[in-house]
Structure 1
Amino acid sequence: MALQQRIRYRQAHAPGATFLTYTPNGKKLITAGVDNFCRIFSTGSDDEPVTVDDVQENNTAIVAGAGFFIAGSEDGTVSKYSLENNKFEEILVRTSLPVRDVALSPDGNWIAVASEEIAVKVVNTKDMTQIQILNEQTRAIKHVSFDSSGTRLALSCTDGNIYVYSLGSGEPDMIKKVDGMIKSLESNAEASSKVLWHPDGRAFATPTASREIQVMSLSDWERQRSFKTSHSQDITAAAWSPNGALLATTSSDLSLCLWDAKTQKLLKKYDDMKATILAMAWHPTENILSYTNNDGELYIHTDIVPAEHASLLQKSVQPAPFFHDPAEGRAGIAANQLANGTKHVLPERRARAGTPDSLDDLLGSDVMDDDDAGDLADFVVDDDGAGYAPAINGHGKRTNGHLPALQSPKGKRRAYGSSFQPEIHEGFQPGSTPWRGNRRYLCVNLTGWVWTQSQESSHHSITVEFHDTENHRRFHFTDPFKYDKACLNENGTLFSCQPSSGSPAMIYYRPHETWTTRTDWRTNLPAGETVTAIALSESYVVATTSANYVRIYTLFGLPIRVYRQKASPAVTCAAWRDYVLTIGNGPVGGDGMCQLLYTIENVKHDEIYQSEDIVALTPNSTLVSVFFSEEGDPYIYDSTGVLLTLMHWRTNGQARWVPMLDTALLSRLASGNKQESYWPVAVANHASGAPKFHCYILKGADKHPYWPQPVLSEFGFQIPLSSVSDKKAKDAAEDEMDLSDDDEDSAAIKKTVESQQSTLEQALILSSTLHTQLSSTLAHTRPTSHQRQALTNLEVDIDKTLLQLLAQECLAGEDRGMKALEIVTLMRDANGKMLDLANKVATRYGREVLGEKIRELEERRLVGLDEEEDV
């Protein structure tokens, strides 16, 4: 009964998840829940709490500073409220997805916001325009936590990793990724993976998958003591006491435990909780622990620490529980010296160059005087004959007698220096995205999209949707195999999953419609083999694996090819009709990364067109996607935003990568005020017949599309010749010149001519490239009437553009005659009309000499044709 008298119970909010925070001075306790208000309780008072209205519903986190508090909610708003007038002040930041946690820096100047978006936003509480984005993590963040200095922020990610960032005066820098310490949890799970910074600032602790609290030191990132909590279910909340001497933990098993941080011994266990506790907070100065649960209730537990242990709360900040304190060195020498009153400070042990384990740098250190050096020499004397002090030679240096003999195999040279580790390009599935919250896209193309959702730890759910809803119906199914890759086309959908729980990796093909009963098929891979990437064409199913095998099946599951890929490890693959393109890691390039090598083969004819040729990437760039266009030409998109196509790929040794579009040079980015990137989807012909780059436009720091599904955008090809900003700078420089009226007219004409000429040059090289590409395709496939007409149109476009360029050169002046004649020589003139038109253009602009040269060229061509007829 006495214990119940020390617990003050309040129904703070409607039943549901409820959270709390103390103000820095501990005078007020603030709660937030599922309803649209917050409650402010005064410490030590039984009066009714103050209610703050105008609050969003379904609040998920709350923090308090000096004179204000901040709440985050599921509608994506993070709002600031005044504690002076208990009113709403402003919305600090909005997110497109639900907010899951907020953390306030110790000085109250910065608020870190974790939502179901991948990026974490750190916003200034006094000026919301000051914002930093942390986006090196791969999935959504569940918890955020500042250390006691406010310069480090820990993110507990739903992928089971902890990301620690340094928030100095410059750009945020990720200083450590800690894996294998926390459990992978969904962002809305009741279980906790929050980082608990110890008050002494040298360590943090987190709940683990084994329901323990593990401590990690920051100096060496080593795991230290752990609290064996013996909770029977996941830990939902934990908190250090203000001085770090005590730790409180709670779990879904409805128990609350109090621990001695120094000994990790259980001091008290309360196992009569009525609902799962979601948040706990110690009072800054008093023996009070307050907590809220998932039923809207608040408990203020006074005298939480039993009287026999209450003195622990009166101590100053206690050291974190280490196996060995990093400040004491490896053998605790510093601690012993301090206890004995000596003044020697041994520098931290480090790797030394030159002779093994030399003492020169110790004896010459600034922290020791001559007497200290003598004392150190006495310290290392082998006074007990144990043999730990090495022999000293005549120069005062240690001999190598204490080292084992170096042995190396015959015929091999001993390696010196650190070993070089090349950077391998990771395998990926084109058209897929990483997890974001509990959803991810497995495939996105012009046919439709496939996405998966993690429902529980036991299964996922798959949804397949189509752009053409008249011919295909959306379908949905439960996925117990947890497929992680997919391909989609007009014929069917292909899936693959990785090995799990003793089951091998599997490939699954599901056709959309057949003239007989639809026949799905599955096939297992050999044990231990994982799927790197899959591809689906109108004829074949392709899979590259961790064993560097390329496995090719028919659409009915009949295996017809299995061979080992030369370039390894495998990266990705793509397919179109009978053609298969595979990519793998090759030799190391100058930037330390493995060059990517590709192979293209015709499976039906068993013919290899390109074997282990280089994928042309710029240094330090990576491959983002690879796919075949609607016409069957290979395309790649790299991390710099450049789209390239492979020309002459059907001729062995003649293939080359040609840039078709550099998205960084798009005119929409010329102002510099727009921050966006582009996620490739496909290359397909537009209604006008010209091919277009289809993509999703991603705003801000986003790197992958998410829900709601973005609108598909398209851009015409534009081979990079010059940037928009370069032309603007040139125009601005000319505008600043002091010109007379005549000069101004002349400069204006010149500027117009140059602008038109640049446009025509762009059109010429693009039409020529597309013509070459289509000609190669028609030479190796059975052309359609539409393709033949497209080739004719391109030929006409090329000659028309050359004729317009000729007119521009004639307008520029007589001194441009040689270039004008060069343009004429490039005309195809299959029927002799183009040279006649070129002669008329020269005559129109009064270029008589040029007209003469064109007539001579026409006569030579006629003579050449006559000679061909005679032959």
Structure 2
Amino acid sequence: MAALRGRPAHSPGPTYLAYTPNGKKLITVGLNSALRVFQHGSTNEPTIIDVVTDGHTAVVATNDFIVVGAEDGSVTKYSLLTNSMEEILVRSSLPIRDLSLSKDGEWVAVASDELEVKIVNTRDMTRIMHLREQSRPVKHVAFDISGSMIAVSCTDGIVYMYSFSSEQPQLVKRVDGLIKTLETDAEASAKIAWHPDGRAFAAPTSTKDIQCVARSDWQRQKAFTGGHRADISAVAWSPNGALLATAGVDKSLCLWETRSQRLLKTFEDIQNTILAIDWHPTDNLCSYTNSNGELFIREGFVPGEHAKHLEIALQPSPMNSDPLSEVSGNARKPLANGDKHGGSRGGAEENYLDDLLGPDAMSEDEAGFIEDDDGAGYAEEVNNFGKRSANGIPGRPAKRFEPYSAWQPQVHEAFQPGSTPWRGDRRYLCLNLTGFVWTVSQDTHHTVTVEFHDRQEYRDFHFTDPYKYDKASLNEKGTLFSCRPSIQSQHRAVLYYRPHETWTTRTEWKTQLPAGEEVISMSLSESCIVAMTSKGYVRIYSLFGLPLKVYRQKSMPAVACASFRDYVMTIGNGAVGGDGTTQMRYTINNIRRDEICQNEDAVALPGGTQLRNVFFSDKGDPCIYDTDGVLLILLHWRTPGQAKWVPLLDTKTLDRLASGRKDETYWPVAVANNKFHCIILKGGDAHPHFPRPLLVDFDFKIPVSSMPAGAAEGDEGELAQVKALEESYVRASLQHSLVQDLVENTNATNAQKAEVPMLEREVDKALLQLLAAECREGEERGMKALEIAALMRDRSGKMLEAAGKIAARFQHDILGEKITQLAERRLVGLVDDEDM
């Protein structure tokens, strides 16, 4: 139970507070004419700064001074070094409602009952800028983390976003329908709370929830719902963005986890409406003031079982489809310029800034929140405030922090196929047609459970995991695990393989990787184990732990890998394209024959699309699934230089989505039995969660064409039938090519050899149906019908004979003669494949 310390700080009425950035002092203001300065960790009475004003409505603080707003319209600067007033920065004719201080303390934004917002320089009060686009008084203002943007919450229910990186602030966006219309003196809040990573902000909504909005496109992201029964009165992110504290007019106080938007705790001992919340910068402590003049310093604010959230590094904003959500344990990600952090990670060290902020995560303006804390040169501080031009005119305000380089390439993040990020205290390590591997965090250790779909063939098992395995791969032979190196546990990265069956006493094995090396992605096949590491190595082991090969891949940083029997497919980042993103490259090796099937070929992804999964089909063909919802398979990949990516299914064109009523995406699992097996994700989810989801399958449907615009209503049925037959022909041809490649390049079984003529008949069958459809349209389609007949693959002449009968049935005599001539020429060998 947290220790609650309530102090009567001011006269009964609205009271506000602010911590200094170093956390050493806490300042409160209220209705009376005194400012109180509390020393952190001290039981002594606070220092009192007597002032001439009362009715204070806002306070912001730096380590050296504070700025206080009052109902008389004054905005006053006070020194924390001398505990005395320095100067009045600005005056308003109406009460001050809110203040916001830029991170460097150079500028303070002032909201009042006037229509305009004033932005005043704290060192030179003659330097003032004005925001005048809003038509009603402003209730709140909020600088973003970098100081390059300011959010203005107006009483008309609109959030006005101003760019603060030019000589005069420019309105860049009106965000409507987000906040509630409020009076300036209402207890309810509409203040924007910028997430510490700078990519999004949280806003109280009229539905009593907290809605996150992305800065890049102003689209709504994840929301914190169900915690309050009345309007929100205060919102505050923890310093690392991992937690969120919210208070409501219904005298409620809630603690949320950012990653899962899960309500961790509701405090029941709140007696009055909380008006201001502020986290201590370093300690597990949160303070708040209420509408009765009281200050509460709540020590141990985050319960012990969740206190680890305060120990980790900066966490990402809760975005709907963040490509970086996969990083929470799957892999160590490279920085945007391709560099990596060295050293080991474990426990609270699991999440790093480069893990959480990918190359797409920040615009140039947003990059300002990165500070060069360790002097490594990640960023340099550039402060243009206060500079004057040659003629003495004050220079325009600029971004306080800039990246050290104007341009950096964007790399694709590494991931472990089939795994999901943490949600709460659990996550899936592997998800495929064999079964599920999932883990639960118990703080000091994990518990791992392996469940199979076929429980008659395999037995489920679980075990206590002191290594905290973060990756797994599962197939019919066994289960493979890997963990990161850990300083606390003093172990290196470990590979652990556990077979399902054995006829010897030794049933499992472990091996450690060299110091400073960890697994980025790994895969398990029927004959080998593949591990891609942070050093750029591809390490291949037998199923019994014997090292077979070690080589360094050509394309780095590594992205993912997959394997099937003796074939190993590795993917990495290649050269940088014209759009600034790296082109992913893949290589396919046959490790038993030591042959390269495809060498550094391109992974076919359009711009802005990310790779979601990579795996082999049940017949051994490489497949990928991207964030656009397209499933592709690699054709002719056993012949060097001939491989091409062919779409098998575009999930956005599924019939179930045609009505527009379903809002769902799909998590790829496998390609087997000529179907796409996946998990349906609803409600904007990007990954499957618990309880264990159900697998569904969809037939392949190659995106050949769609219904032409302006088709007559009576023709829609016939056109749809023709389009379906065309797709059937293309799909049958693809399947025939895949199986034919398999038979020609491997030691195929009799069943596989028998499948080739069967699929050939399927191709000709689809062509016959297309021929009949063309004949049905009239003799003017005769040339296309003859072209279709020429595509038939049957060399015995039976299919062309059937085509001639179809032409005769529709009384297309000329077409029938042409088909007969074609059959005769083919029988005597006068027509080869190139002529057709």
- Give the TM-score normalised by structure 2: 0.58
- Kept in 2, the 8 Å contact 1:138–1:435? The answer is no
Separation (CA, whole Å) in 1 of partners of 2:832 and 2:677: 49
Matched, 1:359 2:393: no
Q: Output aligned runs, 1:603-682, within 5 Å.
A: 603-682=591-670
Q: How many residues end up aligned between the 2 structures?
A: 546
Alignment equivalent of 1:842, drawn from 791, 807, 816:
807
2:170 is aligned to none
Residue 439 and residue 598 in structure 1: after superposition, are their counterparts in 2 closer, same or farther (change >3 A)? same
Alignment equivalent of 2:422, drawn from 435, 448, 453:
435
**1:574 aligned counterpart, secondary structure:** strand
- Kept in 2, the 8 Å contact 1:144–1:156? The answer is no
1:96 is aligned to none
Separation (CA, whole Å) in 1 of partners of 2:753 and 2:764: 17
- Kept in 2, the 8 Å contact 1:137–1:163? The answer is no
Separation (CA, whole Å) in 2 of partners of 1:833 and 1:183: 67
Alignment equivalent of 1:779, drawn from 744, 764, 774:
744
- Kept in 2, the 8 Å contact 1:596–1:614? The answer is yes
Residue 351 and residue 820 in structure 1: after superposition, are their counterparts in 2 closer, same or farther (change >3 A)? farther
Alignment equivalent of 2:769, drawn from 776, 801, 804:
804
Separation (CA, whole Å) in 2 of partners of 1:559 and 1:541: 9
Residue 761 and residue 156 in structure 1: after superposition, are their counterparts in 2 closer, same or farther (change >3 A)? farther
Q: Output aligned runs, 1:822-833, within 5 Å.
A: 822-833=787-798
1:373 is aligned to none
- Cα deviations across residues 371-427 of structure 1 (Å, max 9, x unaligned)? xxxxxxxxxxxxxxxxxxxxxxxxxxxxxxxxxxxxxxxxxxxxx995310111111
2:76 is aligned to none
Separation (CA, whole Å) in 2 of partners of 1:190 and 1:664: 39
Residue 459 and residue 837 in structure 1: after superposition, are their counterparts in 2 closer, same or farther (change >3 A)? same
Alignment equivalent of 1:492, drawn from 478, 482, 501:
478
Q: Output aligned runs, 1:489-638, within 5 Å.
A: 489-501=475-487, 502-638=490-626
Separation (CA, whole Å) in 1 of partners of 2:832 and 2:650: 46
- Kept in 1, the 8 Å contact 2:278–2:288? The answer is no
**2:828 aligned counterpart, secondary structure:** helix
After TM superposition, the structure 1 stretch with the greater mean CA deviation from structure 2, 514-523 or 593-602, is: 514-523
- Kept in 1, the 8 Å contact 2:630–2:651? The answer is yes
Residue 557 and residue 676 in structure 1: after superposition, are their counterparts in 2 closer, same or farther (change >3 A)? same
Deviation at 1:830, TM superposition (A): 2.1
Higher relative contact order (CA 8 A, sep 6+): 2
- Cα deviations across residues 428-459 of structure 1 (Å, max 9, x unaligned)? 00000000000000000000010000012x10
- Cα deviations across residues 228-285 of structure 1 (Å, max 9, x unaligned)? xxxxxx54x532456999562323899xxxxxxxxxxxxxxxxxxxxxxxxxxxxxxx
Matched, 1:161 2:147: no
Alignment equivalent of 1:426, drawn from 406, 413, 418:
413
Separation (CA, whole Å) in 1 of partners of 2:682 and 2:558: 32
**2:640 aligned counterpart, secondary structure:** coil
- Cα deviations across residues 624-661 of structure 1 (Å, max 9, x unaligned)? 00000100000000010000011111111111111110
1:863 is aligned to 828
- Cα deviations across residues 152-183 of structure 1 (Å, max 9, x unaligned)? 965559x9636899xxxxxxxxxxxxxxxx99
Alignment equivalent of 1:692, drawn from 670, 675, 678:
675
Q: Output aligned runs, 1:311-322, within 5 Å.
A: none
- Cα deviations across residues 693-719 of structure 1 (Å, max 9, x unaligned)? 000000120010011111100001111
Residue 498 and residue 719 in structure 1: after superposition, are their counterparts in 2 closer, same or farther (change >3 A)? same
Separation (CA, whole Å) in 1 of partners of 2:468 and 2:832: 71
**2:531 aligned counterpart, secondary structure:** strand
Deviation at 1:797, TM superposition (A): 1.1
1:251 is aligned to 300
**2:825 aligned counterpart, secondary structure:** helix
One-letter identity of the residue aligned with 2:389: L
Deviation at 1:559, TM superposition (A): 0.5
Separation (CA, whole Å) in 2 of partners of 1:451 and 1:104: 45
- Give the TM-score normalised by structure 1: 0.56
Separation (CA, whole Å) in 2 of partners of 1:515 and 1:142: 54
Q: Which portions of structure 1, spanning 4 or more consecutive aligned residues, are displaced by more than 4 angstroms?
A: 103-112, 119-128, 130-146, 152-157, 162-165, 182-192, 198-201, 241-247, 364-367, 865-868
Consecutive unaligned residues of structure 2, counting only runs of 5 or more, are: 9-30, 32-179, 193-199, 247-256, 268-272, 304-381, 398-402
**1:759 aligned counterpart, secondary structure:** helix
Separation (CA, whole Å) in 1 of partners of 2:531 and 2:824: 59
Deviation at 1:792, TM superposition (A): 2.4
2:441 is aligned to 454
2:698 is aligned to 715
2:689 is aligned to 706
2:279 is aligned to 206
**1:790 aligned counterpart, secondary structure:** helix
Separation (CA, whole Å) in 2 of partners of 1:430 and 1:651: 26
**2:437 aligned counterpart, secondary structure:** strand
Alignment equivalent of 1:764, drawn from 729, 738, 763:
729
Separation (CA, whole Å) in 2 of partners of 1:597 and 1:253: 45
Residue 239 and residue 363 in structure 1: after superposition, are their counterparts in 2 closer, same or farther (change >3 A)? closer
1:45 is aligned to none
Separation (CA, whole Å) in 2 of partners of 1:866 and 1:566: 45
- Cα deviations across residues 185-225 of structure 1 (Å, max 9, x unaligned)? 99676799xxxxx9999xx74246x5x2xxxxxxxxxxxxx
2:319 is aligned to none
Q: Output aligned runs, 1:323-342, within 5 Å.
A: none
Separation (CA, whole Å) in 2 of partners of 1:592 and 1:657: 23
- Kept in 2, the 8 Å contact 1:199–1:243? The answer is no
One-letter identity of the residue aligned with 1:694: H
After TM superposition, the structure 1 stretch with the greater mean CA deviation from structure 2, 358-367 or 564-573, is: 358-367
Deviation at 1:124, TM superposition (A): 5.5
Alignment equivalent of 1:469, drawn from 455, 469, 478:
455
Residue 125 and residue 824 in structure 1: after superposition, are their counterparts in 2 closer, same or farther (change >3 A)? same
2:758 is aligned to 793
Consecutive unaligned residues of structure 1, counting only runs of 5 or more, are: 9-24, 26-102, 113-118, 166-181, 193-197, 213-233, 255-347, 368-415, 686-690, 736-747
Residue 596 and residue 186 in structure 1: after superposition, are their counterparts in 2 closer, same or farther (change >3 A)? same
Q: Output aligned runs, 1:111-150, within 5 Å.
A: 125=206
- Kept in 2, the 8 Å contact 1:141–1:155? The answer is no
- Kept in 1, the 8 Å contact 2:211–2:221? The answer is no
- Cα deviations across residues 708-744 of structure 1 (Å, max 9, x unaligned)? 1111000011111234xx55x645xx34xxxxxxxxx
Separation (CA, whole Å) in 1 of partners of 2:418 and 2:290: 48
**2:789 aligned counterpart, secondary structure:** helix
Alignment equivalent of 1:350, drawn from 367, 374, 384:
384
Deviation at 1:463, TM superposition (A): 0.1
Residue 597 and residue 760 in structure 1: after superposition, are their counterparts in 2 closer, same or farther (change >3 A)? same
- Cα deviations across residues 129-154 of structure 1 (Å, max 9, x unaligned)? x98788999999899999x998x965
Deviation at 1:859, TM superposition (A): 2.1
- Kept in 2, the 8 Å contact 1:108–1:125? The answer is no
Residue 244 and residue 851 in structure 1: after superposition, are their counterparts in 2 closer, same or farther (change >3 A)? farther
1:238 is aligned to 287
**1:561 aligned counterpart, secondary structure:** strand
Give identity over the alignment, percent: 49
**2:675 aligned counterpart, secondary structure:** strand
One-letter identity of the residue aligned with 2:425: N
- Cα deviations across residues 548-592 of structure 1 (Å, max 9, x unaligned)? 000000001011111111100111111110010001111112332
Separation (CA, whole Å) in 2 of partners of 1:253 and 1:853: 83
